[in-house]
Chains A and B, each alone.
Chain A
Amino acid sequence: MKFFSLGIIRGLIFGGIGATIAMGVTILVRAALGFTAWNPAMVTVIGTVVGILFYLVGLGAFNYWLGWAMDWPDTSPAKQPRWVRYFNFDTNHKTIGVQYMVTSLLVMAVAGIYKMIDRLETARPGLQFITPGTYDSLMSLHGIMMLGAVLIGISGLMNYLIPLMIGAKDMAFPRLNALSFWIIPAAVILLLISLPAGGFDTGWTAYPPLSVKAALGMQFMLLAFYIVGLSSILGGINFITTIFKMRAPGMRVFRMPVFVWVSLATALLQIIFTQFVGIAFLMVLLERLLGLGFFNPDTGKVLLFQHLFWFYSHPAVYIFVLPGLGVISEVLPVFSRKPLFGYKAVAISSLGIAGGGALVWGHHMFAAGMEGWLKIPFMITTLLVAVPTGIKIFSWLATMWMGKIQLQTPMLFAVTSIVAFLIGGITGVPQGIVPVDMYIHDTYWLVGHFHAVLFGGFLFPAMAAIYFWFPKLTGRLMNERLGKVHWGLMTAGFLVTYMPMFWMGLNGMRRRIVDYSPALGMETTNIVVTIGGYIIALAMLFFFINLVVSLRRGTAAPANPWRSKTMEWQVSSPPPEENFVATPRVVGSPYGYGIGGSVHVILSPEDKAGHNGGQR
């Protein structure tokens, strides 16, 4: 009985039934109309779409309206134990935040394992134990699943933190919020199906005509990313509305923590640009299913896809990294005991990065055959993005300068983020300059560059965020010793894996190759890179062990273990169901360290940490 009270179980069963019925009906209709009954492309797509709708019904996504129509008794989720709520359609932003973050870590682990298999293959020249097709599929899935995991991960952080930071009881649209999370598991399942369904050999970029010819696995990836994109748009709408309409009295825009600023910039990018990749993927899907020749050289334009794709996928890079830059800006002042240097510039530069990043998509296509003159304006806009990014980095350095620095795990990760992001940023500049890009485009230089950007802009900050906010989420501190081992291994692994790649790219190592000639002279470096990758995996193992150990036996955390001034730390750990009993009043800067009498927020007495007991 308990088993079926879990929404996800009901959803999966319903989804499976719905998909089976839809596929059966499609086959019958096709047979009746005289087509080939078993057209795998058509049958699976219809099955997937219907299956997802059934899954949402089974899950209980529509129970609110069904209950209203049919007069069901009210079953408030707050009465259920917490672990049951995580598997149900729950509208509390903190539950949803945790759901997102856990899903993100799981997807990231799978994507990491895929790459570890590939990396073992490329450690030596020649084919060792997997075929080029499997290599390509694993490499492509590694890319798209990691990007999905990043989108899911930032949604988790933003969901959990924004309402707590701005003094709101929840997000603006809680049911929409739950929906935007609960379509994600469907996408994850589709991505997992993709590999047994034949995978795809296009890379995550899915350029046609290759993606039109690719195996059936391609379709599951296109559908999955379409769903992730939908979730991203719905989330963006929610974040923007929440930030605009739900701020506590006194929370003027220039009193918002930088994390809220970057969330706003991120959400704007999400709602403005995500539909372009959606439409591009839909067009590829329609070309595969119905033969509509959008990207066929005879009836359409091959390059059109790349414009649509990068029109989203470049701003997407800023969607991935801006929240991470926000996390760094939150962690540094707390552990340096100093105000964030140049707060206004850092806050506005987030919008600058977002706005500038919207105008640079062409730099992915310098070698693709676009108009020659068009390369110049794209080169200029690309290089200009370095300016607001530089402002952020310099402001962080100035925040640390002459501070009273405590190197606990969150701070170690935040500092490493700056280093990684700096490496990623500086190695990006040569790629922004067209003639140099003609040299290093699509080589290991590029691979090293964007991994450094994502380690510095997402993964290291995400780790900083987890170590930093874990006490708030769970009421327990994470184990500091395991955390430092995790940090040390991960930093070493990062450097060993990605630093050789810049040299490899310059010397002829192309990206996305299963095999390379021994004549290239890359045998030793490839072994080094593989070892580095496995060091990162080992570090992540320590991280997962730390999560489990700390969750079960971690030291109980006070409400504000890091002596932070921002609002989420002023309520108990974990925060109560609706965050605040009375509306908080914001009276000053969130970073007033060392400024005598500086107060960020005044809570009512019953909201003060420790008075409300909180709940596990």
Chain B
Amino acid sequence: MKKHFLILAAIIVVISSGLVLLLLNVNYTPVKASEEAYLIDNLLTRLLIVAIPIFTLCMVAIIYSCIVFRRKRGDDEDGPPWRGHAPTEIVWTLIPLSIVLFFAIYGSAVLGDIMRTSPGGKELEVKVITSQWNWRFEYPEYNVTSSELRLPVNRPVMLHLYATDVIHAFWVPEFRVKQDAVPGLETMLRITPTRLGEYTAYCNQLCGMAHAYMTTAVKVVETSAFDQWVMEQRR
């Protein structure tokens, strides 16, 4: 019994540390182009670091049992009559409970960071108006309207999402966060782009036939380039 537990523990430690090392050294998410992306990726990675040993433990225990505890041919006896063990059961209730409570608190804190508005009201306000199957971006501050989203780098943006017909959603994988646009409701999404580049915004809520094609370009540019673009659009 003790021997089995020791072997099992050794296998679990080896495999899960291998998997954690792999996780930490592999880029399993797209490039991070916003502040939110860093927060969310950190949260996800930490979650996976906790999940890997639990998953490994279960998998190894199952496979180990199926191999080592196979019935010998002709052995018709029953196994040991263990009906339960209260301390063990309490432990495997309390450990997952504390893990999920920890992540509930951690997740709430990250959610707070994502939703908190920046002090001083320097946010760029953009109205995102979605329809079947196109995008319209309005910049009330500059009186500019565009069919693609252009954002200055490192300036917090508050997207105000509207839908004119059915539900749509705004998602840029590199920014991580997404939000539905609901007819009759104004929804909001805060993003701080941190990386220059051109990305794609996807509609992420099934909105009819051409849903797959409801995409548009998102360009994160230097502040000066953004100002110049605004000037050009106004003309």
Contacts and interface: CB of A to CB of B under 8 A. Distances in A.
A302 B183 contact: yes
Contacts of B104: 376, 379-380, 383, 433
A12 B17 CA distance: 62
Interface centre among A345, A369, A415, A514 (most CB of B within 10 A): A369
Contact of B28 (A209, A419, A506, A517): A506
Interface string A495-519: 0000000010011101011111101
A393 B58 contact: yes
Contacts of B209: 132-133, 136, 201
Contacts of A39: none
Contacts of B103: 383, 429, 433
Given A201-B208, A337-B79, A400 B183 contact: no
Interface string A376-418: 1001100110110011011101101111111100000001001
Contacts, number: 259
B92 A203 contact: no
Contacts of A298: 184
A480 interface: no
Nearest to A335: B71
Contacts of B24: none
Contact of A402 (B79, B100, B110): B79
A442 B182 contact: no
A407 B62 contact: no
A402 B82 CA distance: 10
Contacts of B83: 339-343, 589, 591, 595
Interface string B36-69: 1001100110011001001100110110011001
A303 interface: yes
Q: Which of A209, A213, A514 has the largest count of B CB atoms less than 10 A from its CB?
A: A209
Contacts of B101: 380, 383
Given A407-B66, A510-B202, A594-B80, A438 B184 contact: no
A394 B184 contact: no
A77 interface: no
Contact of A422 (B44, B55, B77, B92): B55
B227 interface: no
A372 B166 CA distance: 22
A397 B47 contact: no
Contact of B78 (A337, A429, A442): A337
A275 interface: no
Given A132-B209, A401-B61, A422-B58, A391 B89 contact: yes
A177 interface: no
Given A433-B103, A439-B44, A404 B212 contact: no
B54 A404 contact: no
B35 to A, nearest CB: 12
A438 B40 contact: yes
A594 B61 CA distance: 22
Contacts of B28: 503, 506
B208 A210 contact: yes
A507 B62 contact: no
Interface residues of B, number: 80
Nearest to B172: A508
B179 A402 contact: no
A435 B110 contact: yes
A443 B54 CA distance: 25
Contacts of A589: 83
Given A213-B166, A402-B80, A403-B69, A376 B111 contact: yes
Contacts of A376: 104, 108, 111
A336 interface: yes
Contacts of A375: 111
A301 B167 CA distance: 12
Contacts of A510: 171, 202, 204, 212
Interface string B208-231: 111111010000000000000000
Interface residues of A, number: 87
Given A201-B208, A337-B79, A415-B66, A345 B43 contact: no
Contacts of B9: none
A511 to B, nearest CB: 8
B141 interface: no
A236 to B, nearest CB: 29
A593 B79 contact: yes
B62 A418 contact: yes
Contacts of B211: 132, 136, 512-513
B184 A442 contact: no
A514 B212 contact: yes
Interface string A475-495: 000000000000000000000
Contact of B79 (A368, A512, A516, A594): A594
A430 B44 contact: yes
Nearest to A207: B167
A387 B100 contact: yes
Given A379-B107, A401-B65, A303 B185 contact: yes
A367 B78 CA distance: 52
Given A345-B84, A426-B54, A397 B212 contact: no
B81 A594 contact: yes
A343 B1 CA distance: 22
Contacts of B96: 386-387, 390
Contact of B182 (A302, A391, A418, A595): A302
Contacts of B107: 379, 433-436
7 contacts: A345-B93, A401-B61, A429-B100, A430-B47, A434-B107, A439-B177, A594-B80
Interface of A: 132-133, 136, 201-203, 207, 209-210, 213, 297-298, 301-303, 336-345, 367-369, 372, 375-376, 379-380, 383-384, 386-387, 390-391, 393-395, 397-398, 400-407, 415, 418-419, 422-423, 426, 429-430, 433-436, 438-439, 441-443, 503, 506-508, 510, 512-517, 519, 589, 591-595
Closest 10 CB pairs of A and B: A297-B184, A594-B78, A513-B212, A433-B107, A594-B81, A383-B100, A508-B173, A338-B79, A297-B183, A369-B187
